[in-house]
Amino acid sequence: MLKRLTWEQVRELLKSLEERGYAVLYPEKNDFGDWFPRQGIPDNWPEDFSNYLFPVLREAVLPSPEPVFRIEDYSPVFHSYGRIAFFGVRPCDATALAYTDAFYLERLFRDKHYEKRRRDIFVIAVACTRPCENSFCRTMDAGPFAGRGFDIQMYPVDGVWYAEVGSDAGREMLSPYPDADEGHLKAWKEEVLERFPLLDREKLRYPIPPSVRKFLADRCFACGGCIWLCPTCTCYNERTPAGMDVVVREQDACLLSGYHRLAKGASLRPTMEDMMGFRYECKLGIGSCTGCGRCSTTCIGYAAMEAYLEKAL
């Protein structure tokens, strides 16, 4: 179902989300040129918005550290941020949310901690009009438009905001607004799509060539930056922080040796090449990569996807 809104009506929709108890977050650029979420109703849509520096949706559903149970009586803790409506989420991050939803909610075990926070999140994706630095989202089927992971997806077309329904909650929020004809939007989408490079997907598969794996391993500083910023990296560790009375889950990184360490200091993957293979197995083999490009932007060693693409394609 497609609707048609003016910018004022978009603001009206965001206000009605606020009235329903949501903290509305929208993108704002800081003094250093990086994008962070700001709470409130935006006066204008920031046309130059590329993407958030951090994967904000992942942080909302999987905070790190996250208290999970009290040591005193082992009673569970369900950490909550309350209701949040994200306006302006990029399609790659909406796709990543769909991926983490499937991982945490649709497999053998359904994580109640994730589920409770996820229920409080409302996603309004805004389709991209030009590719971000280092991104290859179209190749990974995660942009410039999202196919999943949103309640509403909006398309800003010459002053008109087309709005696509992605969930029952989204349908309800859009019900006051007039239906739209898909014709004009379709032509616009075709034009936008042309601006996004489409790489050879067949070469972005696991296993990655050994020479490429070695090239990346030799350059990796094992800082973990690519993993902290990846919207689908959700592996976690568990510990009791010193002086605290709760056990927390916190994000772990498969490019750090501690991730693979066993008792007595043994390791399942003792070399950087082993760990790099493990990471790419997940990102390209299982297919969790959305092509957002954050890993390449943050990598200090030329060992992330940007380097991989150059070597593999």
Partner 1 sequence: MKVSIDFVNAPIPAAVEEVVDEGPDVKTFVIRYSRSREVLPGQFVMIFPDRMWEIPISVAHASRETIHLTVARVGRVTSALFRLGGGDRIGVRGPYGRPWPMDILRGRRVLFVVGGLGLAPVRMAIEQLGDVTLVYGARNPSLLLYRNLYRSWEKEGKRILLTVDRPDGEWRGHVGVVTTLLDGNLVKSHDYAVVAGPPIMMKFASRMLEELGMDSDRIFLTLENHMKCGVGLCGHCRIGDRYVCVDGPVFSLSEIRNLEGWASGEVI
H-assigned helices in 175-304: 182-193, 210-219, 225-229, 272-280, 294-298
- Identify which of residues 21 and 210 has a Cβ nearer to partner 1 in the complex: 210
Question: Site mask, partner 1, residues 86-125, x = CB under 8 A?
Answer: -----------------xxxxxxxxxxx------------
Q: 295 to each of 139, 225, 232, 239, how far by Cα in Å?
A: 16, 7, 11, 26
**Maximal C-alpha separation, the chain:** 65
Distance CA 308, CA 289 (A): 13
Of 31 and 264, the one with the shorter C-beta distance to partner 1 is 264
As measured in angstroms, the least distance from the Cβ of 76 to partner 1 is 4
- Residue in 69, 177, 228, 302 binding partner 1, rule: CB under 8 A: 69
Q: Rounded to the nearest 10 degrees, how much is the dihedral formed by the CA atoms of 161, 58, 254, 219?
A: 40
Which residue, 182, 152, 140, is CA-closest to 88?
Answer: 152
Among 75, 82, 159, 178, binds partner 1 (CB under 8 A): 75
What is the nearest approach in angstroms of partner 1 to the Cβ of residue 112? Answer: 5
228 backbone dihedrals φ, ψ, rounded to 5°: -60, -30
* Token pair listed for 164: 């696509």
The terminus-to-terminus CA distance of the chain in angstroms comes to 38
Answer for which of 64, 282, 301, 311 binds partner 1 (CB under 8 A) is 282
Q: CA–CA separation, 27 vs 45, rounded Å?
A: 9
Nearest CB to partner 1, comparing residues 161 and 259 = 259
Q: Out of 261, 301, 302, 311, which residue is the one contacting partner 1 (CB under 8 A)?
A: 261
Q: List the structure tokens of 50.
A: 């590329």
Interaction with partner 1 in 177-206: which residues (CB under 8 A)? 206
Stretch that binds partner 1, among 53-61, 90-98, 179-187, 253-261 (CB under 8 A): 253-261
Which position among 12, 59, 141, 274 is part of the footprint of partner 1 (CB under 8 A)? 274
Closer to partner 1 by Cβ: residue 32 or 74: 74
The answer to the question of residue 259 lying near partner 1 (CB under 8 A) is yes
Instruction: Work out which of 40, 238, 300, 310 binds partner 1, going by CB under 8 A.
Output: 238
Q: How far is CA 47 from the centre of its chain?
A: 20
**Does 228 help bind partner 1 (rule: CB under 8 A)?**
no
Peptide bond into 65 cis (omega under 30): yes
Interaction of residue 235 with partner 1, rule CB under 8 A: yes
CB of 100 to partner 1, least distance (A): 10
Region near partner 1 per CB under 8 A, out of 41-49, 134-142, 144-152, 278-286: 278-286
- The CA distance from 267 to 203, in Å, is 30
- The rounded distance, in Å, linking the Cα atoms of 2 and 180 is 5
Q: Which residues bind partner 1 (CB under 8 A)?
A: 68-69, 71, 73-77, 103-113, 206-207, 213, 234-240, 247, 249, 252, 254, 259-264, 268-269, 273-274, 276-278, 281-282, 285-286
